[in-house]
Amino acid sequence: MKSWRRRSIHWTLLVAGWTLGACAPPVGPPATPARPADAGPGEEASATAGWRHDWAEGAVFYEIFVRSFADSDGDGVGDLRGLAARLDYLNDGRPGGDDLGVDALWLMPVFASPSYHGYDTVDYERIEPAYGSDEDFATLLEEAHRRGLRVIVDLVLNHTSSEHRWFVGARASRADPRRSWYVWRGGDPGWTQPWGGTNRVWHAAGEESYYGVFWGGMPDLNWRNPAVREEMARVAELWLARGVDGFRLDATRHLVENGPGQLQVDQPETLAALRDLAARIRARFPEALLVGENWTGPERVALYYGDDARLPGGDGLPASFDFALASALVAAARDGDASGVRAALAATAALYPRAALNAPFLTNHDMIRVTTELGDDLEAQGRAAALLLTLPGAPFLYYGEEIGMANGPGRRDEEKRAPMPWTGDGPGHGFTAAAEPWHPFTGDPAGRNVAAQFAAPGSLLAHYRRWIALRAGSPALRRGDLFLLPEAPAGTVAFLRRTEGERMLAVHHLGLSAASLPLPFPCAALSAAEVDGAVELGGAEGEGCTLALPARSSWVGRVATPRP
């Protein structure tokens, strides 16, 4: 995978030649779904071989909470058959269609669990019965792959449910063979959760306590135990062999704890365990994607990529979510000041391995939805989406963001994960035939739903479709390097994306008043590919062009290569 590191550029030199030196390698053909690497008789593929992630670089992912996406059987709960029936909305597999155009799906937990959210697994080998059967999941994978959609699923490595048979046996007897699969000690030393507050992380069980950083119903696995590491690697390989294309790895910062406070996160043993897991998966399934949930700043996220000298992009996790950039994107769209976005891009470029795959996003299932964060300002949401979809890496969208789906009235997780409104017809709004869905709809489902926006050219959904299509049709936007233009106005993010044969200039003005941006290119070298707002180009012949940017506008276009 190619670099998107920010480099020092003397932009004045570009006025005359507007060239950026040696081009990045050409874009390769799409890869096939994740599968074991070929190996000769009796030999394993080398763990030092690189990942084959051409399919993931630049891909647009769509995060789905299956319970809330589409209900096929009328019980008020979304399921796998319902999701399969809605795949054409996401990507119908045909070029030039009116689908959303995403490339891959991330399914929140689909393994058996006693909770609505699924993050407390009771069986890593079985699909949650409320969502359907193992056969339903196999059919979903087949239908997704037939359309060219990849599918990654949540894998909860850090903990199990307290109802998992492993923990039930371990809690009942010190002699249980899986007692050491969990973390025990005598008494409660008084540690609290590392992100703050007063919640204790040690939970009484007879004369001893067990460690569970999130709560007592989710006991942490003991990642110091080789048997645990072996079992979780086996589970990962099992689902990859069944056809999934990778995993979003939950709570990866918390695998090993060495004491109270910040000694519960980012420990060397955690990094070593993830390196080992990545090497094992890479050896057999080099096209499988692993995306870490490392909710912290770029300095610490960089640790999870591993050593770039050992493997291009690092020998740890090949991708991590960019939480710092997400906060900066939403703040910029809300406040009209893009300096935080520029700083976040510069920080990740300076700290991450050169070939690292970033995973930018706006919000996810643990966060207040972007619509609510932006005060239901659709124009601000449009600017945030356009910026996200022109950035390097693999951007992730949260289901419903493309229609401006709002958060519920509270801050509980359920309010962030409400059902998807497909139509304006109540009470099920196309999500379910039941009189009541598992959770009430949020916002204005009768007025803001997929059907209402699908054929409306000025809708937020149409806006997302246009920008995703622009990205899909541009090698530079999907996989190119990023060069930030310096000294842009406070409300503006401007950058050049470049691959061999194509240079794309993206200018996003999130400011609440008009601005102008001088460019190191003559206007004749620029051809617009997508414009939101009455952006105007001006400048004398042979001189640099100036973009006149109305409030909240975007201009993306190709930069011609000058003749020698």
Mean pLDDT computed over 197-207: 96
Q: Nearest 5°: CA angle at 325, between 324 and 329?
A: 125
With b for 16 or more beta-carbon neighbours within 10 A and e for fewer, the 13-25 pattern comes to ebbeebebeebbe
Mean pLDDT computed over 498-502: 94
Query: Which of 63, 250, 257, 266 is labelled catalytic?
Result: 250
pLDDT of 37 reads: 55
Q: pLDDT of 320-370, one tens digit each?
A: 999 999 999 999 999 999 999 999 999 999 999 988 999 999 999 999 999
Give, as one character, the DSSP assignment of residue 361. Answer: B
Reported confidence tier of residue 543, pLDDT bands at 50, 70, 90: confident
pLDDT of 539 reads: 80
Query: Which of 99, 293, 415, 532 is labelled catalytic?
Result: 293
Whole-number Å distance between alpha carbons of 547 and 303: 39
Q: Is 293 annotated in the active site?
A: yes
Whether the per-residue pLDDT at 118 is higher than 50: the answer is: yes
pLDDT of 473 reads: 96
Tokens at 474, concatenated: 């541009």
Mean pLDDT computed over 513-528: 94
Q: What are phi and psi of 93, to 5 degrees?
A: 80, 0
Q: pLDDT of 427-457, one tens digit each?
A: 999 999 999 999 999 999 999 999 999 989 9
Q: Is 250 annotated in the active site?
A: yes
Give, as one character, the DSSP assignment of residue 278. Answer: H
pLDDT of 413 reads: 98
Tokens at 465, concatenated: 């479709």
Whether the per-residue pLDDT at 23 is higher than 60: the answer is: no
